[in-house]
Structure 1
Amino acid sequence: MAEGTGGTHAQHDAGYPGDWEADVVLRDGSTTHVRPIRPDDADALQAFHVAQSEASTYLRFFAPLERLPDRDLARFTTVDHRDRVALVAVTGDDAIIGVARYDRVGPEEAEVAFNIADAHHGRGLGSVLLEHLAAAARERGVRRFTAEVLPQNGRMIAVFREAGYSLRQHLDDGVVTVVFDIDPTDRSLAVMMARERSAEARSVQGLLTARSVLVLTSPGVAPGSLDDRRAARVLADLVGLGERGPDPADRTGAVTAAGGAERPVEVQVVGLPSVPGDGADPAASTAEVVARAGDRVRSWASLDDVEGPVDLAVLALPAPEAVAAVRRLGRLGVRGVVVLSGGYAEQGPTGLALQRALLRAAHAAGLRVVGPRSYGLLAHAAGGLLNASLSEDPPPPGRIGLFCQSASTAVSILGSVRRRHLGLAHLVSAGNRADVSGNDLMQFWQDDDSTDVVALYLESIGNPRKFSRVARRLARVKPVVVVTAGRSGHVVPPGHAVRPTQTSRHTLQEVMRRSGVVLVDNTHQMLEAAQLFALQPLPPGRRAAVVASSSAMAALVAEAAGTAGFSVERAPAILHEDADDAKVARTFAEVYADPDVDVVVTVHVPTVGPLDLRVAQALARNAAGSGRTSVACLLGLHGATPELTAPDADGTPRTVPAYTTPEDAVLALGQAARYGAWRAADRGRLVAPEGIHARTARRSIAGWLDEAGTRESLDLGPERTAELLALAGVEVLPSVPVHDADEAVAAAGRLGWPVALKSTAPALRHRSDLGGVRLDVHDEAELRADVAQVLALAAAHPAAPGRAPLEVQAMAPHGVACVIRSSEDPLFGPVLGFGLGGDTTDLLGDVAWAVPPLTDVDVADMVRAPRSAPRLFGYRGVPPLDVEALEDVLARVSVLADQLPELLHLELNPVVVAEHGAYVLGATARVGVAGTRADGPRRALPV
């Protein structure tokens, strides 16, 4: 249960909706805590009211009101959280800065009112409270808000309109009555996501552009201990005492931005341990670093003495001390904290409680948290380098934005970045990823002019639905290269708060692929791909040319290129190691002059002697500005090097990336080609079939659950499942349950001959190969014989509880049987599966997976993804089937599952696709009380 700033759910009444509590990023990048109001908020509410201006009070109450009467105070703070609901936004000391409430005035209608503290106007509190109040109201069955507003209160009317709702207004007796439905619409969701992106990007920007940094350590920490060394390392980097030296190969100038100097940063430190003796390693003690830094660091004995404002705090403190310190940082204007130390969720329940307390304290004080167990962050900008990390030798400035989680992985990745002579725009290490995540960084990088490529090392993904939509939007403009610690998404490292998942191990891969993400196997591949994206244009096509130092090498490279999806139609150019200068120049000139070449792979490995600079220089000159994506494998070169750098026609240096092996080069090239094709393709529009009545379906499910007296789950029978699907515009072919031959004959007479006879025993259902299904039964005699045979067969198999042993169904046209499934997963939300029917499909796992919402292109791709899909498109002379009708059914199921978290499981089996139409012959469904999805229709930070 979420812990609030004023106490835990257990401390409140039993009806207190603790899951409505949330931490939220506001428009200015700061944070606040939103929670239901409580009776003990009376004093805080009175203080909030008294601090308001006379104008604000008049707009809220239509009259001057210096103080709230005790009677009103009690009524405002004592609510039932159902028909009378109030939410408050609070600061770290539980001071109220915004109130939103509704009172139900009809079965599905409630009157709303808002009041935002004068000092906090313009931060987006009104829109945040409206989102959360609307979500709470929908949970309580309210579907429409009304508000009475004075005409001069245009700001409040604007909050409703700018949220994306369609308003109906009328003026009566000097008061404007505003009415609007609160069910999410495409426009309201788009508005929420745009606000979320802007707020989260601004919060990250505040971290990466810090101009004043406060380092906190503890007087009780032993000199030279791990926390002391962490603080010392960060301090040394911030004030320019790091031990970084020049790149021995001096290979960065051609491919990185100018600069690399320290950014002028005001540095302060709190809580020095005692000073060690002379001669100690200056990087091993905070006190020694401070002594060496002189007046470049201001040192304080207590946090209370620190002078603000401070942009960023770096904590190297024991966990309990860190929580106490964060509560006191708000007064300094701190935007965020980087927590280097451990002792949190990775240590078990006690540490998890400390981590949650840290987040609550930080968010209530308006701060974002990087960590705990973070390696820190570094950022290059026009003003120089901000190095608030544990790296004493950070990479030079570049165009790659890098996010990783564990500190040890950051060390490894940074070493690989340096060996490739690459530059970074930013590095953020999230550690336990308690707050700031890869999603936040992607929001920032989308519009960041200093970043061209995004690389993410993810040990876990806490919100795959949000990741999918954020990554898809970012991938439309910048490459996103991702490596995950577990390709399935089922691996959860210690300290990471991730919901459990029961999905297929291929689901995460499909989410990545459909989002345009370049998913790679390891950090080596991540940087190999990132350097290609950073240094070369996207492949304009898949026609490859090969230049090699031998025919044998050329054949191997051509084979690798073909495996990666390239066509090598031009004969490989062979440059033997004894080729003269004219031959080298002519070979590359001819290759790059060929209009039928899109990409060039050069592999030149002399058997005697060092690197042949003539080959490198000729390749670089011809590749620069050619528009052809070029990669190289040359002896002794790796990454971005001056040997493979040359100016284009405008004088801008262009570099061909060097790879250790031809396979690495071609693999990266293939990944770039697939990404380029995805980016160039039409991604379609979100499917929105007509005739889907999600609100009615939600009411029906609630009624069925109440009737069954359960709050867990309920298996719907065939009739209710068909009723539910009908609300999505999907018709299930009618069937009649029967017990014997007489009932079967009567049912066939009503349905019309021919019919199908099916056993309802789970082991025989859909199993025509076992005799459980009899098709094309044309007359009474045949039907009676089939009934006797199927009943005899079913005697050895238990029947489905409460169901007749048989059912009779009208025959559908002949076609191919398919299966459509949807399951509500705690981590991914609704997960959709599609495959062709039959044991072979299930045994081979020939199923396509996707997470709604889907576009029409996604739906079409999903139908075509299974290896057996050619059966739908005229396989071996069979007429093509009505795939468009199948796509319509799949689209409707995807929308229904996306809009109904109550739909725990749905299976349409079989869906027969004929030459004309798609026919649902069987369907099962399980429903239950909806859980809270990780990516719901309200903005909220993880807890």
Structure 2
Amino acid sequence: MASSAAPRSPATVPDIAHALLSDGTTVRIRPGGPADHDAVLRLYEGMSPEHLRLRFFVASHRSAEQAAARVAGRSVPGNPRSARRGGSGYRALLAEHDGHLVGIAEYETTSADAINTGTVTADIALAVDGHWHHRGVGTLLLEHLVSAARAAGITAFTADALAENHEVLKVFADLGLSTARHFEGTEVQCVVQLAQSDAYLTSVDFRDRTAGVASLRPVLRPESVVVIGAGRKPGSVGRAILRNLCTGGFTGRLFAVNPNAATVLGVHTHPDLASLPHVPELAVLAVPADQVPAAAEECGKLGVAALVSVSAGLDAAQARTLLDICRAHGMRLVGPNCLGLANTEPDVRLNATFAAAHPQPGTAGVAVQSGGVGIALLSGLARLGVGVSSFVSLGDKYDVSGNDLLQWWECDGRTELALLHLESFGNPRAFARTARRATRRMPILTVDAGRTEAGRAAAASHTSAAATSTMTRQALFQQAGITAARSVGELLEAAALLHSQPLPAGTRVAVVTNAGGAGVLTADACAEAGLTLPPLGTDLIDDVLAVLPEGATATNPVDATAAVGEEQLRACVRLLAASGRVDAVLAALVPTAVAAATGDALVRSLTHTPDRRRDRPVAAVLLDQDLPVRLLPAEEGTVPAYADPQAAARALAHAAARTRWLAQPSGTVPDPDGIDPARAHTAIDAYLDRHPEGGWLGPRECAELLDAYGIRQLPWAWAETEDDAVLAAERLKGPDGLVVLKAHWPGLLHKSQEHALHLDLRGDAQVRAAYRDFEVRFGHLMTGVVVQPLAPRGVELFAGVVQDEVFGPLVLFGHGGTATEVLADHAARLAPLTDHDVHELITAPRCAPLLFGGGGGGPVDLEGIEQLLLRLSRLASDLPQLAEADLNPVLARPDRITALDVRVRVLPRRAQDPYLRQLRRLR
């Protein structure tokens, strides 16, 4: 297999990044340079003789000077190799805290034999200030160095160490990459392979979670809080937050800053931060926007660990200044423009919000960007009686994000249900990895906000037009196992069922009712939600009818009649739930004048049962109920009751979807054989050298790209003259003697709409006539024609990739040909695709039955479709310059899968590492 180790586009490891150590401390990581000589020298000279010996194999000032000179690009007399080499052969990364250098990692390439062996190796060195050992400095630096090296085409690191240097050997061993050790006497050489793997990403995830949770401790479990801007005027935000902190029973020390008042709400105030008797861990900024940066700077200098900024209206300059201050002083930031946060743990009882009511303690974690949505969710949960573990209003989300909160809820020991409202994603792929892990432990629910673009049909066949932001977001939710509702109300409906009932094993539902019309409405709602009402079977029907009044029917829906009593209904529901024939029971009940039991008694038949430990969910539809959804107290737990059958059916459908997701294997990312990324990079780089602004590749470049990834195309030839077209047609014509001519010019997207396509051409005369027609109509545009044999019949598909600037590469698949513009029958998944993602992609479009033999034809080459999608996924992941690739149509036949037409657009983009541990930077 060809090497994938060829040099890539320049690394996009940021010049300056901030990241978290294992204890939650923020450090700055940046490249080293000439100005760092003295700082590097001080780092080494501050080490103990023992640490110097372990680093250089000898405790020597000269070794320290040479190391500092290498970073600075200087030469040391008598050792010319101490100077830094030019180009990408050397790189040094420094870690700083509060302006002080605490660690350094560097590599220097030693060999490059990519042509023959596919390997490029580099020697690495690592040093950490002795006072900063065991806090993850070295590991964090190595992660960033690995990311930079991969982008530069380096495939392996080598490091020499003394065999007794157990700490550095453990750093390499715990990194998560494949590492080999070679011992020679007292020394050992470590060889670290840089190929990314699930094991490495899992290790990075664990370190990210550990660091993130530690950094949020002063945010959600602070031992002391100060409210800056706590006013005396009723109705002021700062006063409301201070009131909630007081009345909520915050267990830590509470301070307030107001230069114009001695006390506010009975809390002694201070004129400024400097006059506080104690440095608070958390500061709540409730001051005007123009005062926020100055207040944050004062907090940072004092040593405050975290900020919550509820202030709104910061302009771009103020926003950037605020975040820069937080990064410089290592403070985590919630907001700005937010409602605040709360933690209901008994030993914390923190309510630093200006919400009207205190959240009740419980097990639901809530994170929102919109304060209004946050209030609605808290109010809805309170009506349901579902308590909150912690609540965070993220606001403009400069720093603390939904990803941070998922990590916190994974580890807080209390949260069992996560509710999110996110309007944007800073790092969707990292979020997806966190969510995939967390949702196996607890349901994660979100509102799919901002769906207005979903109303715009895909009016063009190229991939960027087909890939709406709604489709991209939904792909993220589906792959991550997130339950996505369309409204806050629907989210609360699903939360009520997931909070109170076991998951259904499938989609089979039994509907039981005391009014036939209510049963019909409920059955319709179930069918519309994708649930099924299976026949109950004669034995179960007999058992059910035996416990119901005369005149009852049990065909599903089960009509228990208006005369049903409490015990009769209880026995019926018990039989249905225990039968094994259905996965859930919905009881649609209405009060009637002839009922043998009151409405309350019928409801009691669902909530008070001898078999308290049901393993199948039971829910009620109470058509006379005022609230859209409520939780009915039961002997053990609660039972959800809905006013609308559609709400109940939606909630059950969401629960069944979660069951399906949990049952699926996590999947692996296959590595297709026969690919040559180096060849593809060469083709792309050559095009961008000629077209620095990017653009649509020509047919030759498209073919080169697809060939490099083993994607089959229909044979073709390029012709720039009429005679060339005739010769090509004679060479390429199939058994039927027919060929196709396609006009080409840069940027042509819709050949059919432009009538730039001639089909069914036979013989020289027809080929010449078609070419001349193109010349007459497109002579001022046309650069040539593509000649192909007429393709045989088959299913026409669409496959493509698009690089979303936020979400990364997205793979699309669905119905192809000219119908793709009208039907918009596409599914999408974020790359890299797992084997499970590929299966989901193939089966999701409405045209999927055609691929399996529906419509009278036999099944197509499904393995070929899988390979096509996997190779497109790898293509998109390897080539960040690939803005979009559009294969339409792709001909699917039983014997093969072939791309008939290809369009590819590239842009001068550089590689991004979505899994690199770093804190957010404002765009």
- Return the offset for 1:798: 1.8
Deviations 1:262-292 (A, max 9, x none): 45222233x223238xxxxxxxxxx322xx2
The counterpart of 1:857, out of the listed 802, 819, 836, is: 836
Contact 1:722 1:731 in 2 (8 A): no
Deviations 1:222-256 (A, max 9, x none): 64287xx33333333333x35xxxxxxxxxxxxxx
Distance 2:749 2:508 in 1: 52
Task: Tell me whether 1:618 sits opposite 2:601 in the alignment.
Answer: no
Deviations 1:185-235 (A, max 9, x none): 44333322332233223433553233x1221415xx864287xx3333333
TM-score normalised by structure 2 residue count: 0.85
Distance 2:52 2:130 in 1: 10
3-state SS of the aligned residue for 1:446? helix
- Return the offset for 1:370: 1.0
Contact 2:283 2:307 in 1 (8 A): yes
The counterpart of 1:234, out of the listed 241, 246, 249, is: 241
Q: Hey, what does 2:264 align to over in structure 1?
A: 288
The counterpart of 1:62, out of the listed 57, 66, 70, is: 57
Structure 1 residues 167, 674: CA separation in 2 closer, same or farther (over 3 Å shift)? closer
Contact 1:611 1:636 in 2 (8 A): no
Structure 1 residues 593, 196: CA separation in 2 closer, same or farther (over 3 Å shift)? closer
Q: Hey, what does 1:135 align to over in structure 2?
A: 147
Structure 1 residues 183, 835: CA separation in 2 closer, same or farther (over 3 Å shift)? same
3-state SS of the aligned residue for 2:312? coil
3-state SS of the aligned residue for 1:656? strand
The residue type paired with residue 275 of structure 1 is A
Q: Hey, what does 1:26 align to over in structure 2?
A: 21
Distance 2:13 2:583 in 1: 58
Deviations 1:877-931 (A, max 9, x none): 2222112112211111111111221222222233222221112333333334333
User: Which runs of structure 2 are paired with 1:337-352 in the superposition (5 Å)?
Assistant: 337-344=307-314, 351-352=315-316
3-state SS of the aligned residue for 2:445? strand
Q: Hey, what does 1:254 align to over in structure 2?
A: none
Q: How many equivalent pairs are there?
A: 858
- Return the offset for 1:171: 5.0
The residue type paired with residue 613 of structure 1 is D
Structure 1 residues 683, 766: CA separation in 2 closer, same or farther (over 3 Å shift)? farther
Q: Hey, what does 1:257 align to over in structure 2?
A: none
User: Which runs of structure 2 are paired with 1:616-765 in the superposition (5 Å)?
Assistant: 616-622=603-609, 624-634=612-622, 635-636=624-625, 638=627, 644-647=632-635, 653-706=636-689, 708=690, 710-739=691-720, 742-748=723-729, 750-751=731-732, 753-754=734-735, 756-761=739-744
Structure 1 residues 841, 724: CA separation in 2 closer, same or farther (over 3 Å shift)? closer
The residue type paired with residue 847 of structure 1 is H
Contact 1:638 1:657 in 2 (8 A): no
Distance 1:388 1:880 in 2: 60
Deviations 1:762-809 (A, max 9, x none): 67986499682435x7xxxx320221231243234326967333x333
Distance 2:291 2:486 in 1: 39
Deviations 1:495-525 (A, max 9, x none): xxxxx99942422223222322211111111
Distance 2:850 2:11 in 1: 55
Unpaired stretches in structure 1, ≥5 consecutive residues: 1-14, 243-261, 277-286, 345-350, 492-499, 648-652
Distance 2:180 2:685 in 1: 29
Q: Hey, what does 2:460 align to over in structure 1?
A: none
Structure 1 residues 268, 54: CA separation in 2 closer, same or farther (over 3 Å shift)? farther
The counterpart of 1:203, out of the listed 200, 215, 229, is: 215
Q: Hey, what does 1:114 align to over in structure 2?
A: 126
- Return the offset for 1:42: 4.6
3-state SS of the aligned residue for 1:238? helix
3-state SS of the aligned residue for 1:542? coil
Structure 1 residues 809, 477: CA separation in 2 closer, same or farther (over 3 Å shift)? same
Q: Which moved more, 1:817-826 or 1:195-204?
A: 195-204
3-state SS of the aligned residue for 1:268? strand
- Return the offset for 1:428: 0.9
The counterpart of 1:783, out of the listed 763, 777, 781, is: 763
3-state SS of the aligned residue for 1:930? coil
- Return the offset for 1:164: 2.8
The residue type paired with residue 376 of structure 2 is S
Contact 2:54 2:165 in 1 (8 A): yes
The residue type paired with residue 828 of structure 1 is F
Contact 2:739 2:789 in 1 (8 A): yes
Task: Tell me whether 1:215 sits opposite 2:226 in the alignment.
Answer: yes
Contact 2:815 2:824 in 1 (8 A): no
Structure 1 residues 811, 531: CA separation in 2 closer, same or farther (over 3 Å shift)? same
The residue type paired with residue 794 of structure 1 is F
Contact 1:488 1:507 in 2 (8 A): no
The residue type paired with residue 431 of structure 2 is F
- Return the offset for 1:168: 4.6
Distance 1:473 1:16 in 2: 29
Distance 2:750 2:566 in 1: 75
Unpaired stretches in structure 2, ≥5 consecutive residues: 1-9, 74-83, 113-119, 456-463, 536-554
Q: Hey, what does 1:468 align to over in structure 2?
A: 432
Distance 2:777 2:842 in 1: 34
3-state SS of the aligned residue for 1:355? helix
- Return the offset for 1:32: 1.9
User: Which runs of structure 2 are paired with 1:558-637 in the superposition (5 Å)?
Assistant: 558-568=523-533, 569=535, 570-574=555-559, 580-606=565-591, 612-622=599-609, 624-634=612-622, 635-636=624-625
The residue type paired with residue 515 of structure 1 is A
Q: Hey, what does 2:260 align to over in structure 1?
A: 274
Q: Hey, what does 1:95 align to over in structure 2?
A: 100
Task: Tell me whether 1:774 sits opposite 2:759 in the alignment.
Answer: yes
Q: Hey, what does 2:160 align to over in structure 1?
A: 148
- Return the offset for 1:614: 1.2
Distance 2:320 2:87 in 1: 25
- Return the offset for 1:666: 2.1
Structure 1 residues 700, 759: CA separation in 2 closer, same or farther (over 3 Å shift)? closer
User: Which runs of structure 2 are paired with 1:316-331 in the superposition (5 Å)?
Assistant: 316-319=286-289, 321-327=291-297, 329=299
Deviations 1:643-674 (A, max 9, x none): x3233xxxxx2100122333222221222122
Q: Which moved more, 1:569-578 or 1:159-168?
A: 569-578
3-state SS of the aligned residue for 2:507? coil
Contact 1:764 1:772 in 2 (8 A): no
Distance 1:42 1:169 in 2: 32
TM-score normalised by structure 1 residue count: 0.83
Deviations 1:540-591 (A, max 9, x none): 2323233334222222122212222233344444566665555455444444
Task: Tell me whether 1:415 sits opposite 2:379 in the alignment.
Answer: yes
The residue type paired with residue 288 of structure 1 is V
User: Which runs of structure 2 are paired with 1:386-425 in the superposition (5 Å)?
Assistant: 386-425=350-389
Structure 1 residues 488, 446: CA separation in 2 closer, same or farther (over 3 Å shift)? farther
Deviations 1:317-346 (A, max 9, x none): 3445443444454677654222222242xx
Distance 1:789 1:480 in 2: 62
Structure 1 residues 835, 592: CA separation in 2 closer, same or farther (over 3 Å shift)? closer
The counterpart of 2:202, out of the listed 162, 182, 190, is: 190
- Return the offset for 1:733: 3.6
Structure 1 residues 743, 172: CA separation in 2 closer, same or farther (over 3 Å shift)? same
Distance 1:101 1:844 in 2: 54
The residue type paired with residue 766 of structure 2 is D
User: Which runs of structure 2 are paired with 1:68-87 in the superposition (5 Å)?
Assistant: 73=68, 75-77=70-72, 82-87=88-93
Distance 2:303 2:501 in 1: 42
Structure 1 residues 884, 395: CA separation in 2 closer, same or farther (over 3 Å shift)? same
Contact 1:46 1:67 in 2 (8 A): no
3-state SS of the aligned residue for 2:434? helix
- Return the offset for 1:422: 2.1
- Return the offset for 1:820: 1.7
Q: Hey, what does 2:306 align to over in structure 1?
A: 336
Q: Percent identity?
A: 31
- Return the offset for 1:308: 5.2
Structure 1 residues 204, 826: CA separation in 2 closer, same or farther (over 3 Å shift)? same
